[in-house]
Amino acid sequence: MPLDPSSRLKSRYDILFEPLAIGPVTAKNRFYQVPHCNGGGYRDPSAVAEMRRVKAEGGWGVVFTEQVEIHQTSEISPFIELRLWDDKDMPMLAKMADAIHSHDALAGIELTYSGINGPNLYSKEVPRAPTAGPILTFTSDPVSAQAMDKDDIRDVRRWYVNAAKRSKACGYDLICLYGAHGFGIIQHFLSRTTNKRSDEYGGSLENRSRFMKELVEDIRDAVGDSMGLTIRLSLDEAFDELSFSNSELRECIDMHSDLPDLWDLAHGTWEDCSATSRFKDEAAQEALITGIKELTSRPVVGVGRFTSPDTMVRQIKSGIMDFIGAARPSIADPFLPTKIAENRFEDIRECIGCNMCVTGDMTMSISRCTQNPSFMEEWRKGWHPELKPAKGDSQSVLIVGSGPAGLEAARMLGGRGYDVAVAEAKSELGGRVAKERLLPNLAAWGRVMDYRLGQIEPLANVSIYRESELTADDVLAFGFEHVCIATGSHWRRDGTARHVLIPVAIDAQMPVFTPDDIMAGHMPSGHVVVYDDDHYYMGGVMAEKLVGLGCTVTLITPATMASEWTTNTLEQGIIQKTLLEMGVDIITTRKLASVGRDHVNMSCIYTGKEQSTAADAVLMVTARDGDDALWQDLKQRQPEWQDAGISSIKIIGDAAAPAPIAWATYAGHSYAMNMDEKPAGDDPVFRREVTGLDPTPISDIRKG
């Protein structure tokens, strides 16, 4: 019988689109956006709501908020997650639930009492925890929690019930009780590391899980059976020998098998759970979660930076989990479910596992995504991850440079309908990511160019010219209406960056390298000093690369630890561990003083005291300079632009100001979205919300 092309063949991915019940509510498919932060929190509620709405629009069956604090006695300032302390917080949370419902997703809220993890810097209340002790935060705040007595436990249970009732009134379908990543009090009760009580809430696993059980019963009584109740636990706390281990977790689920409507399982610490692609592959938690489904009749969700539909199907078919949990893959591509449903696999914008999104939370700014520049700009700028506004009045754009900035500009301008030419000096496209993807464990960086080239390829109105190094004469001769200079950057060689601002004396006989040399295949040998005053990933990656080549490596940095800024990407610990285990000698708090013929002189950043170390070569991981010569030439010749038919020339990305890859894709996106738009003037270029003032006069507030 001839194949009828109009009849849709049964797809092997159909299993991902089966509806599935979570207690009294039913998700339309198995795509489950687990709670994740976004650096917006209570400061930017409409931005967060719109971001969640776009996930629902993209096909996620379940969409959760980030953690929501239930009471002021347990808050995690300076971090800005959501709050549900009283009725005043309800409108913003109701707005999120409405946004999620607008596309038939189930709306979930993650309720959190932070216990030993809440320093209360803002509320000034005394923190409370199952057992007294110093607060366990990223920032090592010098405060302690008081041990909860029975009255305190009753209070916390009541606060959870209050928050659950408010969640219901806000319209949520699901409540998640957070007990993972070391961040929620349920875990603090479960773990013998943080629970040393001798009453009925401590000791045996049955006792340690009593609080969790009571909480579920209280909330069920309060919100009836209209909401699904989930528990999020750590798969393996892995802190010390008393930690809530994977085997104890299994015992716990066996003991309380049908207590919640769903078990949501995440790895131990947040660092473990959200590991970068540099250190963990997709589905890295499989061994820890396999077999847990057999202990319960309730559905199970897990995470694993799932971007491959085949891996997702395998997780379901082999009975590892029922829902595909995702935070980062849903950030990089909010339309991942829709694209799988429509067999548009080539359109999937895969997460590269860089954790730039996490840095928005860690720095309390607002999150960015390297792959999806519209993340958290859905409301602030009206950007949408899939939609492209129709083109404006002008017609042609020349983009010089095919790095992340140039390719993103070309993808968006081409999609909008402009005639675009991309000129690239080299035979190879991709700029920095084409080179960095070849460095140890950075292969996923290549997805930045693969996705964009794949999207540009079918566009007849975008032409790419390789081996086309343009000069100002070339640009002026072509006659494009707009010119975008995205020519990238290069690493400096003179030791200057942050702690050294004047070039250091360098003996001409000492071979000095930069990351550009290494990526171009010019390698040092022997004992190499890597001097890192950049502090992001490159210093550590270079050290790894050199060890791999057989070099002896000393890494010197003015910071107190290797790759210091990677604390924000949750990688610093594993980077330092990896380098130490590879035999890299790490010297901290020393800045470069001078470079001799066969040694490097450094000075203590506190005392200025100098010391030296022998070296056969030095690799400078310091500042980068923008490659802006073409821009400078064109700027000098601005009077010629009009005759050449040029309306605008702009410089973007690393050429303008070197920064991480996420800044370059953002710059390219922004350039393309602003094409033919009116200049913004002096006002902010994005929408923002400002705290509403309380009209109560001070005379009504003052005590005494």
Binding site residues, ligand SF4, CB under 6 A: 328, 331-332, 351-357, 369-371
Shortest Cβ 309–ligand SF4 spacing (Å)? 17
Shortest Cβ 653–ligand SF4 spacing (Å)? 17
Per-residue x/- track, 660-699, ligand ADP (CB under 6 A): ----x-----------------------------------
Closer residue to ligand SF4 in complex, CB, 39/353: 353
Helix axes 210-223, 150-170, angle to 10 degrees: 40
Closer residue to ligand ADP in complex, CB, 44/627: 627
556 beta partners: 531, 587
By the rule CB under 6 A, 655 interacts with ligand ADP: yes
How many helices, marked H, and strands, marked E, lie in the chain? 23, 30
Radius of gyration of the chain (CA): 27
Shortest Cβ 413–ligand ADP spacing (Å)? 15
The answer to whether the beta carbons of residues 32 and 301 sit under 8 Å apart is yes
Helix axes 661-674, 404-416, angle to 10 degrees: 30
By the rule CB under 6 A, 406 interacts with ligand ADP: yes
Shortest Cβ 525–ligand SF4 spacing (Å)? 34
Closer residue to ligand ADP in complex, CB, 62/470: 470
Sequence-distant (6+) residues with CB within 8 A of 700 are none
**Structural tokens at position 59:** 């096909």
Shortest Cβ 352–ligand SF4 spacing (Å)? 4
Shortest Cβ 357–ligand SF4 spacing (Å)? 3
Site residues for ligand ADP, 157-176, by CB under 6 A, read none
263 beta partners: 231, 300
Q: Give residue 133's region: left, alpha or beta (phi > 0; psi -120 to 50).
A: left
* CA–CA distances in Å: residue 88 to residues 156, 172, 454: 20, 17, 47
By the rule CB under 6 A, 404 interacts with ligand ADP: yes
Which phi and psi angles does 91 have, rounded to 5°?
Answer: -55, -40
* Other beta carbons within 10 Å of 88: 11
> Tell me, what amino acid is at 21?
A
Closer residue to ligand SF4 in complex, CB, 219/352: 352
Say which entry of ligand SF4, ligand ADP, none residue 486 contacts (CB below 5 to 8 A, set by partner kind): ligand ADP
Q: Which of 265, 556, 630, 673 binds ligand ADP (CB under 6 A)?
A: 630
What CA–CA distance (Å, rounded) separates 194 from 181?
Answer: 13
Sequence-distant (6+) residues with CB within 8 A of 428 are 434, 466
Say which entry of ligand ADP, ligand SF4, none residue 425 contacts (CB below 5 to 8 A, set by partner kind): ligand ADP
Say which entry of ligand ADP, ligand SF4, none residue 426 contacts (CB below 5 to 8 A, set by partner kind): ligand ADP
**Structural tokens at position 21:** 């019940």
Distance of CA 28 to the CA centre of its chain: 27
What CA–CA distance (Å, rounded) separates 566 from 359?
Answer: 9
Say which entry of ligand SF4, ligand ADP, none residue 655 contacts (CB below 5 to 8 A, set by partner kind): ligand ADP
Say which entry of ligand ADP, ligand SF4, none residue 355 contacts (CB below 5 to 8 A, set by partner kind): ligand SF4
Closer residue to ligand ADP in complex, CB, 398/551: 398
Shortest Cβ 268–ligand SF4 spacing (Å)? 19
* Closest of 568, 562, 503 to residue 531, by C-alpha: 562
Site residues for ligand ADP, 415-434, by CB under 6 A, read 423-426, 431-432
Shortest Cβ 266–ligand SF4 spacing (Å)? 16
The answer to whether the beta carbons of residues 193 and 245 sit under 8 Å apart is no
**Structural tokens at position 312:** 């997702």
> Tell me, what amino acid is at 658?
P
Say which entry of ligand ADP, ligand SF4, none residue 401 contacts (CB below 5 to 8 A, set by partner kind): ligand ADP
Closer residue to ligand SF4 in complex, CB, 332/462: 332
Say which entry of ligand SF4, ligand ADP, none residue 227 contacts (CB below 5 to 8 A, set by partner kind): none
Sequence-distant (6+) residues with CB within 8 A of 154 are none
By the rule CB under 6 A, 266 interacts with ligand ADP: no
Closer residue to ligand ADP in complex, CB, 157/426: 426
What CA–CA distance (Å, rounded) separates 367 from 376?
Answer: 7
Please report where in the chains the tokens 């404006």 appear, as a residue.
392
Sequence-distant (6+) residues with CB within 8 A of 573 are 271
What is the DSSP code (8-state) at residue 148? P
> Tell me, what amino acid is at 53?
R
Q: Which of these ranges, 16-24, 389-397, 402-410, 440-448, lies near ligand ADP under the rule CB under 6 A?
A: 402-410
Closer residue to ligand ADP in complex, CB, 182/404: 404
Shortest Cβ 358–ligand SF4 spacing (Å)? 7
Shortest Cβ 669–ligand ADP spacing (Å)? 12
What CA–CA distance (Å, rounded) separates 136 from 144?
Answer: 9
DSSP secondary structure letters along 464-483? EESS----HHHHHHH--SEE
Shortest Cβ 370–ligand SF4 spacing (Å)? 4
Per-residue x/- track, 440-469, ligand ADP (CB under 6 A): ----------------------------xx
By the rule CB under 6 A, 623 interacts with ligand ADP: no
**Structural tokens at position 617:** 């070569």
> Tell me, what amino acid is at 553?
V
Say which entry of ligand ADP, ligand SF4, none residue 630 contacts (CB below 5 to 8 A, set by partner kind): ligand ADP
Say which entry of ligand SF4, ligand ADP, none residue 406 contacts (CB below 5 to 8 A, set by partner kind): ligand ADP
Shortest Cβ 650–ligand ADP spacing (Å)? 12
By the rule CB under 6 A, 401 interacts with ligand ADP: yes
Q: Which of 487, 554, 569, 603 binds ligand ADP (CB under 6 A)?
A: 487
Shortest Cβ 664–ligand ADP spacing (Å)? 3
Closer residue to ligand SF4 in complex, CB, 300/326: 326
By the rule CB under 6 A, 653 interacts with ligand ADP: yes
**Structural tokens at position 234:** 């750590």
Closer residue to ligand ADP in complex, CB, 475/584: 475
By the rule CB under 6 A, 110 interacts with ligand ADP: no
HEC assignment per residue over 15-51 = HHHCCEEECCEEECCCEEECCCCCCCHHHCHHHHHHH
By the rule CB under 6 A, 488 interacts with ligand ADP: yes
Closer residue to ligand SF4 in complex, CB, 50/481: 50
**Count of residues engaged in binding ligand ADP, rule: CB under 6 A:** 26
Shortest Cβ 359–ligand SF4 spacing (Å)? 8
CA geometry: angle at 598 spanning 594 and 599, to 5°? 45
22 beta partners: 25
By the rule CB under 6 A, 515 interacts with ligand ADP: no
Q: Go through 582-605 and write b for each residue having 16 or more CB atoms within 10 A of its CB, e for each that does not.
A: eebebbbbbbbbbbeeebbbbbee
Q: Which of 89, 248, 532, 627 binds ligand ADP (CB under 6 A)?
A: 627
Please report where in the chains the tokens 């002021």 appear, as a residue.
72
Closer residue to ligand ADP in complex, CB, 195/487: 487
Residues that bind ligand ADP (CB under 6 A): 400-406, 423-426, 431-432, 468-470, 486-489, 627, 630, 653-655, 664
